């Protein structure tokens, strides 16, 4: 009969997923066992059997001379198996398997994805996917899969509570990245360290709006140094104050209370950094000097070079700096340099900027091999050695001759590497020339 639920639960705890085997060592009916006993002078034998092809289990007895019946009507005939119906039939105990399915006569361990059930007259644990295991963690998905419990970690960043997020490892934390943390305010930035929100201070001098800067300790202040202040002001105790008129050389002043951003310009003899610092508009060698003249030995007052050009009556010679042709004695200014007048490169004389007769320098004609030169650009070969134009070669570290790039390609035995210039594929070591560049 369906009794002894507690004892069977203990057996289930030991047997887990295996079919329950009720043996005599537990005092429970074993449908596979055979037992014999003798009863006095007229000894009786009791036999029980359970065939997989049989729908019932039958107990029988035989008696000798004067043998007694096994049971009488009303006897329990219990085999301690909740999956059989027990009865006394015609003096014999019968144990018939009940219908397959879950049984309430055996204690069920909750939240294990299993439940006890009768299967062919035996107690077994079967899958129960509705018996979901709960690990009490908000960052796991609790499920059953054919009787097997699973607690799967939820994806990182999923919410698990107010201002809390799953870390992807099953834990519910304050953050997984700084973007999930509250803004700590000016001069600070949010941080996320080991699931906890924090803040770090912005670097000293970082703008915090309104012309103010961060002090490096998390506060927004007026200034951290003089360079944080505009105009003539200096930084005093994190505040910008005016320095002009305090009787000291401070802030951006070039001398005491003058120059720099001060409205007052410095007089002659005072220190300066540029002409705008001086009343005279003339700063020479770090000192304000008298108004510029065309014979004071310095370039000033609009002169294009020292004491020549500009407002000076004296014009600048070839080689001096110029702003326009009128600054030069030749009336010709090219590239801000006074040069010989046009046509001088054909006068059969070495003059002007020529490195040799009518060639080199500012002349369009370059000097041939053997002519004098000052630099490679004076020569047709682009190579000037010891002041003389020499022949182009494939080892002169200059792109010249038929070379497609420096010392490679063209007639050179050395082919150009990837990335070097080329004209035809034969210029390249790779044999590939695309868009005038050697390919790999």
pLDDT score at 329: 87
388 beta partners: 372, 385
* pLDDT on residue 392: 86
Residue 340: pLDDT above 50?
Answer: yes
Residue 427 has pLDDT above 90, yes or no: yes
Question: Which residue has 């001060």 as its token pair?
Answer: 262
More confident residue, 348 or 365: 365
Q: Which two tokens stand for residue 313?
A: 């009556």
Between the alpha carbon of residue 322 and those of residues 276, 329, 337, 420, the distances in Å are 22, 11, 5, 38
Q: Which of 93, 81, 85, 97 is nearest to 28 (CA)?
A: 81
Task: Tell me how far apart the alpha carbons of residues 418 and 15 are, in angstroms, rounded to a whole number.
Answer: 75
Amino acid 296: pLDDT: 83
pLDDT value at 262 more than 80: yes
Q: Is residue 3 exposed (0-12), middle (13-18) or buried (19+ Cβ within 10 Å)?
A: middle
Question: Which of 269-278, 293-302, 343-352, 378-387 has the lowest average pLDDT?
Answer: 343-352
8 Å CB contact between 217 and 201? yes
- Other beta carbons less than 10 A from residue 210's beta carbon: 8
Q: Which helix (H) or strand (E) holds 96?
A: strand 92-97
Q: Let me know: does 48 contact 36? Beta carbons within 8 Å.
A: no
Give 21's pLDDT tier (boundaries 50, 70, 90). very low
DSSP letters spanning 105-119: SSPPPTTSSEEEEEE
Token digits for 157? 């960043």
Residues 39-63: what's their mean pLDDT? 33
Mean pLDDT of 400-408: 90
Q: Give residues with Cβ within 8 angstroms of 102, minimum separation 6.
A: 115, 116, 117, 118, 126
Q: Which two tokens stand for residue 294?
A: 């065309």
What pLDDT was estimated at residue 91?
87
Percent of the chain with pLDDT over 90: 50
**Beta carbons within 8 Å of 89's beta carbon, 6+ residues apart:** none
Model pLDDT, residue 326: 92
Share of the chain above pLDDT 70, in %: 84
The per-residue pLDDT for 343 is 63
Give the confidence band of 60 by pLDDT, cuts at 50, 70, 90.
very low
Res. 140: pLDDT tops 90: yes
61: β partners: 46
Work out the pLDDT band at 104, boundaries 50, 70, 90: confident
Could you tell me the residue ranges of all domains in the chain?
1-30+68-131, 140-173, 178-221
SS (H, E, C) 407-431: CECCCCCCCECCCCECCCHHHECCC
300, 292 contact by CB (below 8 A) = yes
| Residue 57, pLDDT above cutoff 50 | no
Under 8 Å between Cβ of 224 and 235: yes
Summarised one tens digit per residue, pLDDT across range 228-248 is 887 667 888 898 887 787 888
CB proximity list for 38: less than 8 A, separation 6 or greater = 44, 45
Give 151-209 pLDDT, tens digit per residue. 999 999 999 999 999 999 999 999 999 999 999 999 999 999 999 999 999 999 999 98
Alpha-carbon gap, residue 304 to 300, rounded angstroms: 8
User: What is each CA distance from 252 to 111, 226, 287, 288, in whole angstroms?
Assistant: 78, 8, 16, 16
Give the mean pLDDT of the chain: 81
Closest CA to 353 of 366, 343, 340, 364: 340
Query: How many Cβ atoms are within 10 Å of 398's Cβ, its own excluded?
Result: 17
If phi over 0 gives left and psi between -120 and 50 gives alpha, with beta otherwise, what is residue 228? alpha
Q: Whole-angstrom Cα distance, residue 4 to residue 16?
A: 18
Cα–Cα distance, 439 to 436 (Å, whole number): 9
């Amino acid at each position: 009969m369906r009794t002894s639920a507690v004892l069977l639960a203990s057996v289930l705890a030991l047997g887990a997923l295996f079919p329950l085997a009720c043996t005599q060592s537990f005092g429970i009916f074993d449908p596979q066992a055979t037992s014999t006993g003798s009863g006095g002078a007229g000894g009786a034998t009791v036999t029980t059997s359970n065939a997989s092809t049989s729908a019932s289990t039958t107990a029988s007895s035989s008696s000798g001379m004067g043998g007694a019946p096994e049971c009488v009507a009303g006897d329990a005939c219990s085999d301690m198996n909740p999956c059989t119906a027990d009865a006394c039939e015609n003096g014999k105990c019968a144990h018939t398997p009940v219908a397959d399915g879950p049984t309430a006569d055996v204690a069920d361990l909750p939240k294990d994805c299993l439940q006890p059930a009768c299967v062919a007259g035996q107690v077994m644990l079967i899958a129960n996917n509705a018996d979901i295991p709960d690990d009490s963690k908000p960052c796991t998905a609790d499920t059953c899969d054919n009787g097997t419990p699973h607690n799967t970690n939820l994806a990182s960043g999923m919410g698990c509570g107010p201002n809390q997020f799953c870390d992807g490892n099953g834990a519910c934390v304050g953050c997984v990245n700084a973007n999930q943390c509250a803004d700590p305010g000016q001069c600070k930035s949010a941080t996320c360290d080991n699931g906890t929100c924090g803040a770090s201070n912005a670097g000293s001098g970082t703008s915090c709006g309104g012309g103010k800067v961060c002090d490096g300790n998390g506060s927004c202040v007026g200034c951290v140094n003089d360079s944080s202040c505009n105009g003539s002001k200096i930084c005093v105790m994190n505040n910008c104050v005016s320095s002009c008129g305090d009787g000291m050389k401070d802030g951006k002043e070039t001398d005491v209370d003058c120059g720099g951003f001060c409205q007052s310009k410095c007089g002659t003899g005072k220190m300066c950094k540029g002409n705008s610092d001086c009343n005279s508009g003339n700063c020479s060698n770090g000192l304000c000097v008298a108004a510029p003249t065309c014979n004071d030995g310095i370039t000033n007052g609009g002169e294009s070079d020292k004491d020549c050009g500009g407002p000076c009556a004296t014009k600048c010679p070839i080689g001096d700096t110029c702003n326009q042709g009128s600054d030069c004695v030749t009336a010709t200014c090219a590239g801000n340099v006074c040069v010989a007048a046009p046509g001088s490169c054909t006068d059969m004389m070495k003059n002007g900027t020529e490195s040799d007769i009518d060639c080199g320098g500012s002349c369009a004609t370059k000097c041939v091999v053997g002519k004098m030169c000052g630099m490679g650009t004076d020569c047709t070969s682009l190579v000037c050695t010891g002041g003389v134009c020499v022949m182009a070669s494939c080892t002169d570290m200059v792109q010249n001759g038929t070379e497609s790039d420096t010392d490679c390609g063209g007639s050179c035995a050395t082919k150009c590497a990837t990335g070097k210039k080329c004209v035809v594929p034969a210029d390249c070591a790779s044999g590939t020339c695309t868009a005038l560049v050697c390919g790999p």
